[in-house]
Structure 1
Amino acid sequence: MLVNGAVITGKGAAKGRSAEEVEQIRAILHGRYDDLTAEYEVAVSENQKLRLVEIGDAAGDDQADSGSKTAERDAATSLIRTLLDRRTQAEHAMQALENGTYGNCEGCGNPIPVERLEVFPSATTCVNCKQTRERRAS
């Protein structure tokens, strides 16, 4: 089965992949990492520009202006944090690929459904384990 251009055999388990399949998956994950790195660099640059404008343009701001600037700053910071998290996930998935565990859930050890890997190649947990982690975190 194809996962974003890479062939996944069986139920998505890491074992039994050919060298070509591993290279295809590696290329997808590296591409994802590179794209996220580029997005991150743009977001950081835009955030720095926003802060410079704020510093030079804060005089005479009323509450609405201050609120708008705070909202923009929070949105920019949130985007940067999200991009870093997604990039870390891609790195983690690349490490799992190198270890031969890519496609297996880190929580329960079962194969991650191919459908999940098709949508989110960086996934390292099945849906049930991911939901459990999110519940514990909140």
Structure 2
Amino acid sequence: MPRKDSIQKLRDQLVRRREALQRAFDGDLSLLRELHQERTGDVLDAAANTVQDELNSQLIEAESRELSAINEAIARFDAGYYGNCDGCGKPIPLTRLRAIPYATECIDCKRRAEVRSARGGGVAWNRVFDNVEADPV
């Protein structure tokens, strides 16, 4: 199957996944609202409810991140550059896109980014002010 057809199938999968996530996301939010209205019970019930709320909140956050990544992937498709690596510009292998359809980098570029991140390639915020001399007042 040509790459173009495979990419189109991936877009269709992304759209279906987006719809499923949106339904789940909407259901999770309505469930949380219902649970907050039904609060009754003792201290143990309150503790269990708090733990469940935290788990639901984390699930909603994960679903929201995935939904955002899917929306960005669909926008990339519509703009004509879905499937190309943001790092090197080369086509991302179909096997990677099938595994992670919203991937924006090929494996090599993703690994390089992870190595940079692990080495502290980002800003070391705890040291930002170490080299700044105190302003004389």
Q: Could you tell me whether the CA contact under 8 Å between 1:29 and 1:94 is conserved in 2? A: yes
- Say which structure, 1 or 2, has more relative contact order (CA 8 Å, 6+ apart): 1
Which structure: larger Rg? 2
Whole-angstrom distance in 2 between the partners of 1:129 and 1:52: 48
2:17 matches 1:37: no
Q: Could you tell me whether the CA contact under 8 Å between 2:7 and 2:83 is conserved in 1? A: no
2:69 matches 1:93: no
Match for residue 135 of structure 2? Answer: none
Whole-angstrom distance in 1 between the partners of 2:52 and 2:2: 41
Aligned counterpart for 2:31 among listed residues 46, 49, 56: 46
Task: Give me the TM-score of the superposition, normalised by structure 1.
Answer: 0.69
Instruction: Give the share of equivalent positions with the same residue, in percent.
Output: 26
Whole-angstrom distance in 2 between the partners of 1:81 and 1:124: 20
Q: Give 1:28 deviation, angstroms.
A: 1.9
Q: Give 1:118 deviation, angstroms.
A: 1.0
- The letter for the 2-side match of 1:110 is K
Aligned counterpart for 2:103 among listed residues 123, 128, 136: 123
Whole-angstrom distance in 1 between the partners of 2:57 and 2:88: 33
Q: Could you tell me whether the CA contact under 8 Å between 1:8 and 1:114 is conserved in 2? A: no
Query: How has the CA–CA distance of structure 1 residues 74 and 113 changed in structure 2, closer, same or farther, with 3 Å as cutoff?
Result: same
Q: Give 1:21 deviation, angstroms.
A: 5.4
Match for residue 80 of structure 1? Answer: 60
- The letter for the 2-side match of 1:49 is E
Whole-angstrom distance in 1 between the partners of 2:103 and 2:19: 17
Q: Could you tell me whether the CA contact under 8 Å between 1:117 and 1:123 is conserved in 2? A: yes
RMSD after superposition: 2.6
